[in-house]
Amino acid sequence: MEAEQLANLLARNKRFITLVIGSAAITALALTYVVSEKYRASTLVLIRPQQSVDLVPKRQEILNFPVGFYTPVETGSKTYTEIVKSRAIAEKIVGSLHLDKARDQGGGILWLWRQSTTAVKKAFAKIWVVLKFGRIPQDTPFNEAVEETIKNLEVKPTKDTYLFEIQATSRSPHDAADIANAATSAFMEYMVEASSTDRAGTARQSEERLAASEWSLAASRKALADYKRDHGLVSLSKETEVEVEALSSLQTSLQSTTTKIAGLLARHAELERKLGKTDKVALSSTKRVANPILADLRAQLANDEVKLARLNKLYTPKHKEVEELTAEIQQIEEVLNHAPATLESEQITQVTPQYQWVLDEITRVDTDLASLRAEQSRLNSAVEEKRSKLARIPSEEAEVARLQLAVGVNEEAHKIIAKANEEISVFSLQAAPSIEVVQAAVPSVYPVSPIKIYNVSLAALLGLLLAIALVLASDYVRSWRMMPATAKAKTTGL
């Protein structure tokens, strides 16, 4: 059917097309009043990460993973999203706003209509549950309200900022604003509580370590004083005193080195696990070149065609040489038709920056481990040498030296633990990550759905397509009926 014929056909049926479009648009418009309106409210939250003062510059990380200019900072936003949409937050919202209780939303015809539509939706939902599971699970209004709240909450981070938008959707604009504000309050309380709990636990562990260190130091000092009093010894000789101090210093260094090695081994194991979970290949591309065989075959085909033209002038098509050359040309043409135009020459694989960073970190840790193990071996040799010298002194003086050495080691350990405890105490006094409400949620004036113009326009477009399809189908049926029997037979082949 040509364009002019189609235009004439549509013009003849313009009333029918207009009727279908109008019916679809009016039906869509009516449905927008049947479907419950959805309102959305949002709270804008600013989360400033805590910045601790450190004299040693560190690589920027999020959850112990490197962050560079090429890596989007999404981990934090995803974490906050999961927290806001968690059941713990939803339960606080439902409990504070009493969303599980029946709420009076007015009266009149419109209110009755909304109540009726809600009841119908719940009935259909229960029917669907029965069809899926064969029964209706018994659930409390509180759990239903919690699930509905989780479904209607959404967190949207603002790109390249510390701003987050907590959105809530509800059939009531006031409910949407209340839910968004309640979600923000519950989220802030959760973050503060989690931070306080973590800091309190760290401080408690530090205090326990400090108390244990103080007890060990007091016990070693008491043992030294008791031994000196029982054996009538006041002090060691000057030479022995120097050896004991040197051995104490070496043992303190050895203990510190051993602790560093343990930390690096834990770091190495963590990096190995992270390496197994990180994608290795970021980009894999293949370089393709023209198939060199095709050029040779085309040259041979041209030569054979020239040769065949000369043979055709001398012999008939049934001549043996003509037939052999024709068969060879056909074979070459078949190969050219099926051979690939290009071939893979090189495959380029690029490692992801994250994977490369983990590899570099593992190499750095291995280097540090090798250095520390060499230092540990040197310190062990020096400690054994000092111990062998102290073993040659008289037994009573040797025992005093041993006890004094234990006191020295415990004193150094106590200093380290006390310094760490002071740093933890200062850290505990610092503020948690700052969370501020930049803009509280307010009730929205207009709903986010349904948008009448969108629904009516889409319905009108679908109505137009349906009307055109019906007109074409009707014209085809009418033409078929008017077609003579002989023409029908030729068309169908029967």
Q: What is the dihedral of CA 126, 131, 137, 141, to 10 degrees?
A: -20
Token duo for residue 13: 């049926």
Residue-wise pLDDT for 221-243, tens only, equals 888 788 777 776 656 666 666 77
What is the C-alpha separation between 329 and 26, in angstroms, rounded? Answer: 69
pLDDT attached to residue 255:
81
pLDDT attached to residue 180:
92
pLDDT attached to residue 59:
44
pLDDT attached to residue 21:
92
Contact 176, 168 (CB under 8 A): yes
Nearest to 16, CA basis, from 469, 493, 480: 469
Contact 348, 284 (CB under 8 A): yes
Nearest to 52, CA basis, from 423, 437, 419, 415: 423
3-state secondary structure of 191: helix
Q: Domain segments of the chain: what residues? A: 1-35+456-494, 282-351
User: DSSP secondary structure string, 419-449?
Assistant: HHHHHHHHHHHSPPSEEEEEE-----SS-SB
Residue-wise pLDDT for 79-132, tens only, equals 788 888 888 899 999 988 888 886 655 556 666 776 777 777 777 777 877 787
What is the C-alpha separation between 168 and 150, in angstroms, rounded? Answer: 9
Nearest to 49, CA basis, from 125, 161, 124: 161
pLDDT averaged over every residue in the chain: 78
pLDDT-flagged residues of the chain (< 50): 51-73, 494
Nearest to 471, CA basis, from 3, 2, 9, 23: 9
Token duo for residue 74: 């999404």
218: phi then psi, degrees, rounded to nearest 5: -65, -40
Cα-Cα end-to-end distance for the chain: 24
What is the C-alpha separation between 291 and 108, in angstroms, rounded? Answer: 79
pLDDT attached to residue 62:
41
What is the C-alpha separation between 10 and 1, in angstroms, rounded? Answer: 12
- CB environment 93-108: b (16+ within 10 A), e (fewer): bbeebebbeeeeeeee
Residue 66 pairs in a beta bridge with 61
Residue-wise pLDDT for 185-229, tens only, equals 999 888 888 777 767 777 788 888 888 888 988 888 888 788 777
What is the C-alpha separation between 254 and 431, in angstroms, rounded? Answer: 36
Token duo for residue 397: 């003086």
Contact 410, 217 (CB under 8 A): yes
pTM attached to this predicted model:
0.52
